[in-house]
Each structure stands twice: as C-alpha cells, then as structure tokens.
C-alpha cells in the first residue's frame, strides 16, 4: 500500500489554493493524485471510495508497524489502525477531478530516462518563455534550454511523436525511475504508462520553439576546454560578485577584471577573453568535450557525446 501511495504522492498539490488537489482519490482499487498539471495513478489493495488528505494518510501508513485495518467513521474520516496505533485522516466530500489517459497509444523503446536526466538541468524556469519550460522531443533530437545554454541531444532514431514534456513531469518521471512501456497522446496531454498498470498524465508544453539552426549550425573553432577549468571555477566561486561572473582572459580565470579583488587561478591554456556565469559554466562540466570560447560575446558552440549546444556569455 505504501509503495502505491509513494508513487502517486508526487502529483499531490503542496498548497491549498484548491483543497481537493491536496487529497488522494481512492476508488475502484486505484489511488490517484492530481495537482492541476500532472496526475499519477496506481492500483492499490484498498476497496474504499474516499478522498483522504494525502500527507496525513501517508504519515499514518508509515507509522503502522502491524497489520493495517481501515474503515470510514460516521464523521467521514478514514480510520487507520495498526496494533496500538490509531489515526483519523481527514477526507473531503467534494467531487475529485476525473482524470484518465486519452489519445493514441504509442509504443516506446530506448533510454528515455537517460535523455531526460541529461537535459533536465537545462530546462528554463522563466514563465515568459513557456516553450522553454520543458524538454522538446522532435524527430531524432531532444532539446532543452535555460535561455543561457541551449542543448541538442541526438537520439539515434526518431522519437515516435513530437512532444514537449513540462519540467514538473520530467522531474516526476526521473523520480519514478522506471522506463515507461508506452504512451498515449492527444492534443493537450500525454500519458506515460508503466508496468503494473501505473501511469503519469501531464499537460503538454507548447511546441512553438524558435528555429535553432541559426545558432547551432554555425561554423566554430572547437578545442578541448582549458585544463583544470572546472576545478578553477570551483575554487574561485566563493569570491564571485552578486551577479556570479567569472572572467576568462589569456592565462587565467578571475572573479573580477581589476587586479587585487576577488580570486584568480592561473590557467595557461586560456587564450581568449570572455565573461560567463559560473553556475552556467559548471553545468557543462560533464557535457562538453570541445568548445569554441573564442566566439565570445557571440554564443559559444560546444560538442559532447551525441550532444551539441551553445552557451551565451555575460556582457560587460
């Protein structure tokens, strides 16, 4: 039972703007959580028709050390009893949203989770660009951008549908950690199905991405990143200014342009000038095999294993 609750708990709303969404829906031996954007559903060995407050119910089940007994009280609460322990979980009577998979079924194969894990750090949080708040799967590529770094990963084969998976759904798919067996897709939602009749349904982000070829298809002078670059960034990051800038110049990386301020590390392999946010550079540590830092202040193209992309520096 606890395993089923944990599976759906990620889709329970954390705040009570709509109180219903802070509850589980238990009916027909299934349990569902829905926060207005994503829904998670799992079979559960519980023959009840009720909507218990999710946090209370999970804590009650976690506390149980013996056989669990459940029943509804005359006051409309869900009684949880195990040994000497008993808890009464608040339930609601309001109608719970009816959420179910919709659309055409599409089989899946390959390492979807690996792609989502690699690209998830590059998903934007900027609400003004809704298209960037997800991972776009289009043709043989997956795309993500945080509006500073743009990444394209080649999938090796065309993804069966064109879909922009929202940030929240990506996080839940990674939390579940199991490859979906197939999906269902319609105009406004996609549902990922898992073994054991479990599923995750999410609203879709817009497919209206801009044309990326003017950025990614430019010629570049690729080179291996300067030796010890990532270690140097880690060493100087406690001394960066409030904006987070680090400055590259021939022979060094520093937190400030002026001498005698902040921190500096000598890097003889650095031959160009540039200014970047230290956190954005660190995101590339396990991605980049070659990069063209000489393009600064234009976007600097980089390449990795079945990956290419660009990072935008900071203006001085």
Domain boundaries, the chain: 2-89, 104-210, 216-311
CATH code linked to domain 104-210: 3.10.150.10
Q: Do domains 2-89 and 216-311 have the same CATH topology?
A: yes
CATH code linked to domain 216-311: 3.10.150.10
Does pLDDT of 127 surpass 80?
A: no
Distance of alpha carbon 294 from its chain centroid, rounded? Answer: 32
Per-residue pLDDT reduced to its tens digit, 254-276: 999 999 999 999 999 999 999 99
Span between the terminal Cα atoms of the chain, in Å: 57
Does pLDDT of 2 surpass 90?
A: no
Give the model's confidence band at 126: pLDDT under 50 very low, under 70 low, under 90 confident, else very high.
Answer: confident
Per-residue pLDDT reduced to its tens digit, 19-28: 889 999 999 9
The neighbouring-strand residues paired with 27 are: 30
Task: Tell me the two tokens of residue 64.
Answer: 């149980």
Give the model's confidence band at 1: pLDDT under 50 very low, under 70 low, under 90 confident, else very high.
Answer: confident
User: What pLDDT, on a 0 to 100 scale, did the predictor assign at position 95?
Assistant: 87
Per-residue pLDDT reduced to its tens digit, 48-76: 999 999 999 999 999 999 999 999 999 99
**Nearest to 173, CA basis, from 125, 222, 124, 117:** 117
Per the CB < 8 A criterion, the answer to whether 164 and 204 are in contact is yes
Does pLDDT of 201 surpass 80?
A: yes
Peptide bond into 9 cis (omega under 30): no
Does pLDDT of 91 surpass 80?
A: yes
pTM for the model: 0.92
Three-state SS for 117? helix
Does pLDDT of 12 surpass 80?
A: yes
**Is CATH 3.40.50.1000 what the domain over 2-89 is classified as, yes or no?**
no
């Amino acid at each position: 039972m606890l395993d089923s609750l944990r599976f759906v708990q990620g889709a329970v709303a954390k705040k009570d703007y709509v109180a219903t969404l802070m509850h589980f829906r238990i009916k027909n031996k299934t349990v569902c959580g829905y926060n207005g954007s994503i829904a998670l559903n799992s079979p559960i060995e519980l023959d009840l028709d009720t909507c218990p407050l999710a946090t209370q119910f999970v804590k009650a089940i976690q506390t149980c050390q013996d056989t669990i007994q459940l029943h509804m009280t005359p006051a409309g609460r869900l009684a949880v009893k195990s040994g000497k322990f008993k808890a009464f979980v608040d339930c609601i009577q309001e109608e719970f949203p009816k959420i179910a998979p919709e659309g055409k079924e599409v089989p899946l194969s390959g390492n979807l989770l690996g792609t989502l894990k690699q690209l998830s750090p590059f998903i934007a949080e900027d609400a003004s660009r809704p298209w960037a708040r997800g991972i776009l799967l289009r043709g043989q590529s997956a795309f993500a951008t945080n509006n500073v770094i743009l990444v394209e990963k080649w999938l090796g084969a065309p993804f069966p549908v064109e879909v922009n998976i929202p940030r929240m759904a990506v996080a839940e798919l990674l939390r579940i950690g199991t490859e979906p067996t197939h999906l269902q897709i319609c105009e406004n939602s996609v549902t990922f199905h898992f073994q054991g009749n479990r599923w995750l349904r999410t609203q879709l982000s817009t497919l209206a991405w801009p044309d990326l070829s003017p950025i990614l298809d430019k010629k570049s002078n690729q080179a291996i990143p300067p030796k010890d670059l990532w270690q140097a960034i880690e060493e100087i990051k406690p001394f960066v200014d409030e904006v987070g800038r680090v400055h590259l110049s021939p022979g060094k990386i520093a937190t400030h342009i002026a001498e005698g301020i902040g921190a500096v590390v000598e890097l003889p392999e650095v031959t160009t000038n540039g200014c970047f946010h230290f956190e954005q550079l660190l995101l590339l540590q396990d991605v980049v095999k070659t990069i063209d830092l000489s393009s600064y202040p234009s976007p600097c193209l980089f390449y990795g294993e079945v990956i290419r992309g660009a990072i935008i520096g900071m203006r001085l």
